[in-house]
Structure 1
Amino acid sequence: MDDKKNEDYNVRMPDVEMKTFNDRSSSSAPFLGRSPTGRGPLPVSSITNNPSISILAYCLASISMTVINKYCVSGANWNLNFFFLAVQSIVCIGAIIACKSMGLIKNLAPFDTEKAKRWFPISLLLVGMIYTGAKALQFLSVPVYTIFKNLTIIVIAYGEVLWFGGSVTASALFSFGLMVLSSVVAAWADIQHALYGSAQAQSAEAAAALSKLNAGYAWMGLNVFCTSSYVLSMRKVIKKMNFKDWDTMFYNNLLTIPVLIICSLLFEDWSSENVAKNFPVESRNALFTGMVYSGLATIFISYCSAWCIRVTSSTTYSMVGALNKLPIAVSGLIFFSAPVTFGSVSAIMIGFVSGLVYAWAKVREGQKSKMSLPTSQPITSASSQSSRDAANS
Structure 2
Amino acid sequence: MPTLPPDVVARLTAALDLVDADLAARHPGDTGARQPVHTCYLPADQMVPDVVPAWGARASALLATYGADPATLAAATGGDPRPQVAAAVHAHTRRALAVEPIQDLRVDLEDGYGLRPDDVEDADAVRAAEALRAASAAGALPARYGLRPKSLDPLVRVRGLRSLDLFLTALVGDDSPPPGLVVTLPKVSDPRHLRVFADVLGELERRLGLDPIGLEVQVETPAAVLALPELVRSGLDLGPGRLVGLHVGTYDYSAALGITAAHQASDHPAVEFATTMMQLAAAGTGVDVADGSSNLLPVDGDERPGASGDDVRRAWHRHAELVRRAWHRGLYQGWDLHPGQLVSRHATVAGCLLAGLDEALTRLADHAAARQSGAVADEPATGRALAGHVLRALDAGLLDDPRLAAAGLDRATVTRLGGRRKSNTTTPAGQASLDKPNSGSSLH
What's the TM-score bracket when you normalise by the shorter of the two chains?
Answer: under 0.3
Report the structure number with the largest CA radius of gyration: 2
Which has a greater percent of helix? 1
Which has a greater percent of strand? 2
RCO higher in 1 or 2 (8 Å CA, sep ≥ 6)?
Answer: 1
Query: Under a length normalisation based on structure 1, what TM-score does the superposition of the two structures give?
Result: 0.25
